[in-house]
């Protein structure tokens, strides 16, 4: 990191957001895929937040209004979970609870693609996906079919900006170098480790962390954009640290959770590399 | 621990129960929440028991009669799981299989609260929850709404005793210092570690371990109360040991499973602090 | 291992299959039980394959045709998952995608036993189970009720050969010493560690690895039998290596995932003991 005023400000925002998460332990309602529920809960706990997976449609309708943030991940939707998602998003929008859409594998599979199209119109506070998913999701809005090929993060920039304009929210494209776009602003963040994609749920957990950070940031008047950047910084910095001593994906997973808990807000900000363009 | 006869007797019961679990490998039918299935199964295996998550309602009806113990955790109930719970509890009660109710977040959410009220009338062999849940569950029986605030374990003593009278069973309130109540008897047990609540499922796994210990104790003529105490002692002692060398919640999880497997019955009894009041 | 030509050939097949998995990262569609989804995905990633748990029946119908292999594990079937299994198998058979049946606890429980009978008639490319399950599954074909008692791997040899004749596929009986049978050929493979059965999902993950290896082998013209042997060799060799330094089931799990990723194809072949009879 350089010492420009911009970096000082961005660093300060990461530190402040991470402090706020630990001080307030935001309650995150996770409607996520069935493969990653345990790691998602453990990541939220290690990062300082509180997870709750309330999945019955009638309970989800109530609980989304109690939570500080909501995660909607369409990775393993069932009929009942789709009902729960609709109920929870309706409550979140009615009560001003920030919510995150993770469009897992959207574009190629029918049910989740239809659902994602519907959810996009409900204007998620933030969208988090990989480059292929973000490009596919942006294509939906234009009546397209989505893209199956693997995209680079940078190639998804236009798609991310188009989605940000359409929803009025923040759009994050995760990869080796994350790209976070909102109206008139793009932040690039480099962190993590090559073992990270070999542990299932590291990306999906990031969606949950974004919901936690949004919840904490709103209660203290920080911007949604800063919250999304800080969530990426926290999980990515822990990945960088974990990778230093991991011997493979098993020990990486363990050390990542340890580092999520151990890293101070200042350490998080120091580990990552940032580039911010207004 | 002091050397009073009472402690000798309680220690002996813990040792005997833990030996019995390892000698008989009780089969535990787990109808539990979708976030903690893997850790619950791993805890049972490490502790010497056998897990089985049989969830289809028709299969659950059969399987509860084959199992040595049944766990019902309402943390992520769906319509289908609710049917499975009703079927399994009916079989357990008809065939004398001990069963445990874990009233996750009861009181605040509608479907699980209705279900818990119904299950309470079916007289679970044991109830295991945190202080807030036990107070909320006791309130249900009196037509109340349950309590959302965080309660201390000691403040839940009256609620635990009321539930024990109502069900004729054992009621455990888990926390830094566990409280286990049954007719005319209260045991307090101190063990565990501050990292334990940062690993999802350590409490839910305790419910499964209680079912395993109840199954083993019944086959050897020990009391249900002693079985519930011994289950808390085993998981808590492993937590204390794991905390000595853990570097965060990730490594705590790993070492806890190792310690569950490695600790001898005598070591379990030595690590925990007990106070028993008839 | 001895230096007979047979062993040289078998060793070469293991090396070639493991190389092919890492070179092609086969996409494995997993319809598996709800307890082991996370470990199954992590095993596939560590072994070099790509997991995808697509469970909505309509999506499963599409996705099975995109995948390189399909796993069907009946451990926690629901109504909706049963629909997804039927849809996915129909697609796999129509499009020549290899698929694996893991008959968890078949024989004793009604719904899964009926489903397994139906699936057997659809001729799975491979079947992987423990001795009791394979004997029970073979009994179904003869109108029998299945066997609940614990069988040794060797005692399941006749059942495995009968199933192989009936399906025209490969049948693997997993245990301390695995037995893999197909038309006119039986391979026995010794590997693993005594801690392996104390980690939930090590067997179920093997079913997924078999699907990955079948997918990779077919694309390079190797036999299905060699693919099934190589999958058992990879997971078993990693178990042997992990067991050398594990302190219990928690650390075994971590080191197993590390070893799955770290072992070279040559090391995999060196660690296991093979016996092949044409």
Flag whether residue B79 sits within 8 Å of chain A, measured between CB atoms.
Answer: yes
Q: Do the chains contact at C63 and A109, CB–CB below 8 Å?
A: yes
Q: Is 3.40.1190.20 the CATH number for C5-272?
A: yes
Q: Residue A251 pLDDT > 70, yes or no? A: yes
C-alpha neighbours within 13 Å on the C-beta side of residue C65 = 11
Helix (H, G, I), strand (E, B) or coil at A183: coil
- Averaged over A202-225, what is the pLDDT? 97
pLDDT-derived band of residue B4, with 50, 70 and 90 as boundaries?
A: low
How close, in Å, is residue C195 to chain B by CA atoms? 10
Q: Residues A179, A156: contact at Cβ < 8 Å? A: yes
C42 contact residues in A (CB cutoff 8 A) = 198-200, 249-250, 253
Please state, in angstroms and rounded to a whole number, the distance separating the CA atoms of residues A161 and A274: 19
Which of these, A261, A22, A25, A264, lies nearest to B247 by C-alpha position?
A261
pLDDT of residue C234: 98
pLDDT-derived band of residue C63, with 50, 70 and 90 as boundaries?
A: very high
Extended beta strands in chain C, E state = 27-31, 50-52, 69-73, 99-102, 126-130, 170-174, 177-182, 185-190, 273-277
Beta pairing, strands C170-174 & C126-130: parallel
pLDDT of residue A147: 34
% of chain A residues with pLDDT over 90 = 87
Model pLDDT for residues C89-121, shown as the tens digit of each residue: 999 999 999 999 999 999 889 899 999 999 999
Supply the ipTM of this predicted assembly: 0.94
Flag whether residue B201 sits within 8 Å of chain C, measured between CB atoms.
Answer: no
Q: What residues of chain A, 242 to 271, have a C-beta less than 8 Å from chain B?
A: 253-262
Alpha carbon separation from B207 to A52, B260, C207 (Å, rounded): 18, 15, 30
Model pLDDT for residues B109-148, shown as the tens digit of each residue: 989 999 999 999 999 999 999 999 999 999 875 443 333 3
pLDDT of residue B149: 43
Model pLDDT for residues A98-142, shown as the tens digit of each residue: 999 999 999 889 899 999 999 999 999 999 999 999 999 998 754
Q: Residues C157, C179: contact at Cβ < 8 Å? A: yes
Q: Do the chains contact at A250 and C257, CB–CB below 8 Å?
A: yes
- Averaged over B250-269, what is the pLDDT? 98
C-alpha neighbours within 13 Å on the C-beta side of residue B99 = 33
Q: Residue C155 pLDDT > 90, yes or no? A: no
- Averaged over A17-26, what is the pLDDT? 98
Alpha carbon separation from C158 to A248, B28, C43, C133, C142 (Å, rounded): 40, 32, 30, 13, 13
Please state, in angstroms and rounded to a whole number, the distance separating the CA atoms of residues C102 and C52: 17
Using left for φ > 0, alpha for ψ between -120 and 50, and beta otherwise, residue A53 falls in beta
Predicted TM-score of the model (pTM): 0.95
Q: What is the mean pLDDT of chain C?
A: 93
Any chains having at least 3 CB pairs less than 8 A from chain A are: B, C
Q: Residue A79 pLDDT > 50, yes or no? A: yes
Please state, in angstroms and rounded to a whole number, the distance separating the CA atoms of residues B203 and C174: 33
pLDDT of residue A2: 45
Model pLDDT for residues B141-170, shown as the tens digit of each residue: 544 333 334 567 778 999 999 999 999 999
Q: Is 3.30.70.2660 the CATH number for B5-175+185-273?
A: no
Flag whether residue C62 sits within 8 Å of chain A, measured between CB atoms.
Answer: yes
Point out the residue among B59, B254, B261 whose CB comes nearest to the CB of C109: B59
Model pLDDT for residues A139-171, shown as the tens digit of each residue: 875 443 333 345 677 789 999 999 999 999 999
pLDDT of residue A199: 98
pLDDT of residue A70: 98
Q: Residue A273 pLDDT > 60, yes or no? A: yes
Point out the residue among C76, C247, C250 whose CB comes nearest to the CB of B55: C76
Helix (H, G, I), strand (E, B) or coil at B77: coil
CATH class of A5-277: alpha beta
Q: Residue C5 pLDDT > 50, yes or no? A: yes
pLDDT of residue A232: 98
C248 contact residues in B (CB cutoff 8 A) = 46, 257-262
Please state, in angstroms and rounded to a whole number, the distance separating the CA atoms of residues A1 and C96: 53
Q: What is the mean pLDDT of chain B?
A: 93
Q: Which two tokens stand for residue C36?
A: 């082991």
Please state, in angstroms and rounded to a whole number, the distance separating the CA atoms of residues A239 and A182: 25
Model pLDDT for residues C27-45, shown as the tens digit of each residue: 999 999 999 999 999 999 9
DSSP state of A155: G
Q: Residues A35, A201: contact at Cβ < 8 Å? A: yes
């Amino acid at each position: 990191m350089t010492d420009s005023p911009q970096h000082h400000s961005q660093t300060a925002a990461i530190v402040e957001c991470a402090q706020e998460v630990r001080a307030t332990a935001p309650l995150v309602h996770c409607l996520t895929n069935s493969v990653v529920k345990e790691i998602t809960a453990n990541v939220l706990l290690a990062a300082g937040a509180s997870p709750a997976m309330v999945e019955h449609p009638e309970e989800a309708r109530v609980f989304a209004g109690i939570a500080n943030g909501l995660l909607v991940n369409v990775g393993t939707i069932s009929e009942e979970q789709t009902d729960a998602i609709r109920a929870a998003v309706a409550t979140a929008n009615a009560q001003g609870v920030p919510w995150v859409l993770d469009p897992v594998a959207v574009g190629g599979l029918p049910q989740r693609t239809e659902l994602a199209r519907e959810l996009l119109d409900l204007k998620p506070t933030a969208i988090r996906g990989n480059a292929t998913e973000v490009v596919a999701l942006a294509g939906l809005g234009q009546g397209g079919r989505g893209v199956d090929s693997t995209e680079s993060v940078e190639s998804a920039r236009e798609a991310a900006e188009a989605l940000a304009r359409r929803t009025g929210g923040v759009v994050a494209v995760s990869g080796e170098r994350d790209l976070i776009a909102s109206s008139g602003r793009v932040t690039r963040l480099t962190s993590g480790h090559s073992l990270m994609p070999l542990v299932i749920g590291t990306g999906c957990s990031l969606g949950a962390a974004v919901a936690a950070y949004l919840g904490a940031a709103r209660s203290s008047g920080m911007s949604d954009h800063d919250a999304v950047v800080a969530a990426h910084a926290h999980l990515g910095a822990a990945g960088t640290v974990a990778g230093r001593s991991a011997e493979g994906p098993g020990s990486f997973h363990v050390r990542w959770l340890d580092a999520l808990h151990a890293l101070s807000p200042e350490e998080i900000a120091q580990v990552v590399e940032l580039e911010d363009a207004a």
